[in-house]
Amino acid sequence: MRLDRASHTSRVAKAIIALKLCSVLAFVAVTNPNALTWPSQYIEQGRWLTLAVYLGLWACALIAILIAAFQVNPWVRSFWAVIIALSSAAGFAFYLVSGVEISMFDIASLWAARHEVGRALEFYGSAMAWSALVFLFGFIVIAAPSVNPGAHLRRLWRYLAWAPAFPIVLFAAVIYAKDGGGHYGMSMQFAPLSVAAISGARLATKAMPTRERVTWSADGRKIRHVVLLVDESVRGDYIDWRPGNPYTPDIASLKDRIVNFGHAVSGGNCSSYSNAMLRFGATRRDLMNSAARNPTVWDYAKTAGFRTVMIDSQAAFLRGPAKLQNFMTPEEKREIDSFNAIEETIAPPDLDDRLVDILAEKLKSEQPTFVYAIKNGAHFPYDRGYPSTQRIFQPTMSESARDNDPALINSYRNAVRWSVDRVLKRLANSVPLDNTLIIYTSDHGQNLSSTALSHCSVKNADPREALVPLFAMTDEPRLRERLSAGAMTNWGYASHFSIAPTLLDVFGFKPQDIASKYGPSLFEKPDPETEFTSGDIFGLISEKIHWNKIDLSKRYLEQAAETTVSDSSALPKNR
């Protein structure tokens, strides 16, 4: 009888161990969809040493996970359960959203855009729900009790209580040695933690150089007021210039008042980097150094005698009293004479209307004024950017599943029509343009696919993420004539990198001075390279810039949006 009872107890213990072991392995398998992709690739390429290292790293990770899961002390077990489940959930969520594993460059971009966490969680709600389930499942399978081992094993487990930290350190060493890489395909139970640790250390210890001051003198302003209006997430090919089109009819009606440079390429595919490059006058030929050292656009404007004004429609979503984003520092803010952060009490569909009101008021001044204005535009989640009564294109994301591309595009079109098309018509009717120049663009475009990041991709960034509109509005005859000639020259090659030298020209700085430090302006023959950056541009993570090609003559419109027949690929007669 006693033997039978012992045998039964042994079978139960083995069953419990087997169940927990299978649960842990299932958790690892579900959260690491690329684990087997890399070994097969290494085998095909004959990279046997790399394969051995890869398998060794995975073996360390699996052993560490099992050590954590079978710890006798429930507090130790629960501690590692939280750590491992959190890492797995974060890495898995990013993979669901982007289709790639999180990297140091992604961490830097996410940190720069941390104020957008609320809107991102709402937009990627489905992925966040799966992430929460992953966390819950991971915590349960690791924290769940197992059988009590003998005294010797209990002592061994106690000695190994901190062993699960080893893969975190090991992966971090690999990432550091590979200059930010080397972790792809590694266990998501530890790799995201290693990536975050290395990224945090680099971000915290990287010293930024001192920014230069303007030493040039300005000969004379070309116009009294200058506005750089930077929209949010507006794709260049979603501006339809056909008269009476259903998508952007108001902009089309302004065609004769607009100097259109056609599709342009943004400096980066992420708001923080694109805005920083515009404000700092970053150059293509020396991007990292110029982004960190060049004088700010505010410094140039003030040197030329302009009053400086900042208007931020997105400030309502920022936390903290300073309301700073896009790498702006308190020191830079002190260069701005009038900093206007739009109030949190304004509803999202009305944010850009408030911007127009403030802008119109600022431009009533007789004092020369430079305004840098950030619109809320087509920021995700798209359905929050327009009133529910303005669902012109249906069904929308609010009415369909997140993975429905037509609904995604309908929501985007509604946001563009309300916050871009309508608002720009209102702006044109609110601001006298006889002594004002408005340069309009967007910080980046959008990849309107339910299976990829909409923007801010670092690896293999889609060209749509940097496809933006670029046009100007002014009624000053000589300046309009110069812009029209420049639009003809720059068609198909327009770039954000040409905006800073254009502003300096209009401010009144000498052409020879501008040419000594910057690339061509929109008045000149463009740089033939049409490229954009993705990820870090300051050397916070790596000294290498990620450059991505884009062909501005190519048609990028999604198949689900092909009902639009835009004339933007042909040079308009009236510019």
Q: What confidence tens digit (pLDDT) does each residue in 24-56 have?
A: 899 999 988 888 877 876 676 566 887 888 899
* Residue 115 confidence (pLDDT) above 80: no
What confidence score (pLDDT) does residue 306 get? 98
Q: Which of 218, 214, 221 is nearest to 506 (CA)?
A: 221
CA distances from 127 to 45, 120, 513, 568 (A): 34, 11, 50, 35
* Residue 168 confidence (pLDDT) above 80: yes
When pLDDT is cut at 50, 70 and 90, the band that residue 1 belongs to is: very low
Task: Using CA atoms of 125, 131, 137, 140 in order, give the dihedral in degrees to the nearest 10.
Answer: -100
372 vs 209: which has the higher pLDDT? 372
Q: Tokens 């669901």 map to which residue? A: 96
Domain boundaries, the chain: 10-205, 231-561
Could you tell me if 456 and 536 are in contact, meaning their C-beta atoms sit under 8 angstroms apart?
no
Distance CA 317, CA 428 (A): 27
Angle at 574 between CA 569 and CA 575, to 5 degrees: 75
Distance CA 374, CA 441 (A): 10
Most confident range (mean pLDDT) of 160-164, 245-249, 343-347 is 245-249
Q: What's the average model confidence in pLDDT over 194-199?
A: 84
The string of DSSP codes covering 110-143 is HHHTGGGHHHHHHHTHHHHHHHHHHHHHHHHHHH
> In the CATH hierarchy, which fold is given to the domain comprising 231-561?
Alkaline Phosphatase, subunit A (3.40.720)
Most confident range (mean pLDDT) of 200-214, 372-386, 445-459 is 372-386
Q: Tokens 């509604």 map to which residue? A: 414
Q: Looking at 8-22, 297-311, 330-344, which range is the least confident one?
A: 8-22
Tallying the residues shown for the chain, one arrives at: 575
The set of residues, in sequence order, having a beta carbon less than 8 Å from that of 369 and lying 6+ positions away, is: 224, 225, 226, 306, 307, 308, 309, 362, 363
Q: What confidence tens digit (pLDDT) does each residue in 402-413 have?
A: 567 899 999 999
Instruction: Classify burial at 220, counting beta carbons within 10 Å of its beta carbon; exposed 0-12, middle 13-18, buried 19 or more.
Output: exposed
Average pLDDT, the chain: 87
Q: Specify the 3-state DSSP secondary structure of 345.
A: coil
> From the CB of residue 33, how many other CB atoms can be counted at a distance below 10 Å?
14
Q: Which of 163, 173, 160, 180 is nearest to 53 (CA)?
A: 173
DSSP state of 419: I
Q: Specify the 3-state DSSP secondary structure of 394.
A: coil
What confidence score (pLDDT) does residue 5 get? 52
12 vs 349: which has the higher pLDDT? 349
Kindly state the percentage of the chain with pLDDT values over 90. Answer: 57
Tokens, residue 26: 């299932």
Distance CA 398, CA 377 (A): 18
Residue 491, φ and ψ in degrees, nearest 5: -55, 125
CA distances from 294 to 210, 211, 212, 426 (A): 9, 6, 6, 35
Q: Which of 368, 349, 557 is nearest to 447 (CA)?
A: 557
Q: For the whole model, what pTM was predicted?
A: 0.75
Could you tell me if 230 and 279 are in contact, meaning their C-beta atoms sit under 8 angstroms apart?
no
Distance CA 20, CA 146 (A): 7
Interhelix angle 125-143/2-31, nearest 10 degrees: 150
What confidence score (pLDDT) does residue 256 get? 95
Q: What's the average model confidence in pLDDT over 250-260?
A: 97
